[in-house]
Amino acid sequence: MLPCLFRRGITSARAPVPDRSQGRHIVASGRAEGRRRFQWEGRSKPVSPSPEKKLLKIVVLSGAGISAESGLPTFRGAGGLWNGVRAETLATPEAFADDPQRVLDFYNFRRTMVRDAEPNAAHRAVAALEQRHQVTVVTQNVDDLHERAGSTDVLHVHGEIMTARSSRTPSLKVAMQDRDIRLGDLAEDGAQLRPDVVWFGETVRHIDDSLDRIRAADRFLVVGTSLQVWPVADWVHHAVNAGERVIVAPELARCPDGFDWLRGNACEHVPRVAERWLDA
């Protein structure tokens, strides 16, 4: 069985049993200027050095909190999308089968919000790290704010909201741009289009690539995630070679072992961390 996205609170009889040792399906727990004048503020994207001149391998693992200051809601906590809503009524294949219009409305609304949002200082600081370092962003976010800030290597492990796909053939994708997905919109294979996101119980993407990069990372920055959803929550323990492991979050149920926890918002702390690492 392929491991899948899993949230501890919604492991119903319908959800696959998680394999947390090598989880591949989403599962959520019930309980994540000084000296240098940076080029990321108000300037065009800097030219990166060639790959062989890059100093450090950096992985940034991001969650909804990095986009909060761009106006996109998180999932958990006050004002979160799952606050007062059961995720299984909106983010499972069963929900889409039961009430596709409700699920499409939810993702169409979120796609509109993403379209209207702009990358913030934290997204831009992450992108600016590419001026000197080899940077991979592993993100649970379905928005495209990392790319719009200038990051060039972004692994969307929970999919991408700006794309639709066939509900029968996952590889048949359609860029949605300014459009909603409507009932009756069909993919090439004649099946209904659905958001190209990973729902609870579905297989998480880019697992091997993500884990390879995390294991090889010299620096590891985790930002804006509650670490409540498997398998990604477990990946923080795989940065075995990182000389520095930093987590930026205003609150956490528990700080993972070996991390420096910077308590606060992404736009406050991520630019400072990036500044320091750019000086490495």
The residue behind tokens 């059961």 is: 86
97-105, 125-133, 164-172, 222-230 -> range binding ligand OAD (CB under 6 A): 222-230
Q: Which of 25, 133, 156, 158 is catalytic?
A: 158
> Can residue 63 be called a binding residue for ligand OAD (CB under 6 A)?
yes
> Can residue 163 be called a binding residue for ligand OAD (CB under 6 A)?
no
Residue number with CB closer to ligand OAD (150 or 201): 201
Give the number of other Cβ atoms within 10 Å of residue 144's Cβ. Answer: 20
- Angle at the Cα of 176 from the Cα atoms of 10 and 170, rounded to 5 degrees: 55
> Can residue 126 be called a binding residue for ligand OAD (CB under 6 A)?
no
In the residue annotation, 123 being an active-site residue is answered as: no
Which of 4, 10, 28, 273 lies at the binding interface for ligand OAD (CB under 6 A)? 28
> Can residue 158 be called a binding residue for ligand OAD (CB under 6 A)?
yes
- Three-state DSSP state, 254: coil
Q: Which residues contact 52 (CB under 8 A, 6 or more apart)?
A: none
Residue number with CB closer to ligand OAD (28 or 138): 28
Phi, psi of 57 (to 5 degrees): -95, 120
Q: Which residues contact 162 (CB under 8 A, 6 or more apart)?
A: 111, 114, 115, 144, 175, 176, 177
Q: Which of residues 249-278 bind ligand OAD (CB under 6 A)?
A: 249-251, 265-266
CA–CA gap between residue 63 and residue 142 (Å, rounded): 9
> Can residue 213 be called a binding residue for ligand OAD (CB under 6 A)?
no
> Can residue 80 be called a binding residue for ligand OAD (CB under 6 A)?
yes
The residue behind tokens 């940034």 is: 60
- Angle at the Cα of 169 from the Cα atoms of 23 and 15, rounded to 5 degrees: 35
> Can residue 92 be called a binding residue for ligand OAD (CB under 6 A)?
no
Residue number with CB closer to ligand OAD (163 or 265): 265
> Can residue 32 be called a binding residue for ligand OAD (CB under 6 A)?
yes
Which of 11, 70, 210, 225 lies at the binding interface for ligand OAD (CB under 6 A)? 225
**What does the CA dihedral 104, 105, 109, 114 come to, rounded to 10 degrees?**
0
> Can residue 221 be called a binding residue for ligand OAD (CB under 6 A)?
no
| Nearest C-alpha neighbor of 39 from the set 30, 48, 31 | 48
Residues identified as active-site: 158
Footprint of ligand OAD (CB under 6 A): 5, 26, 28, 32, 63-65, 68-69, 74-77, 80, 87, 91, 140, 158, 198-200, 224-226, 228-229, 248-251, 265-266
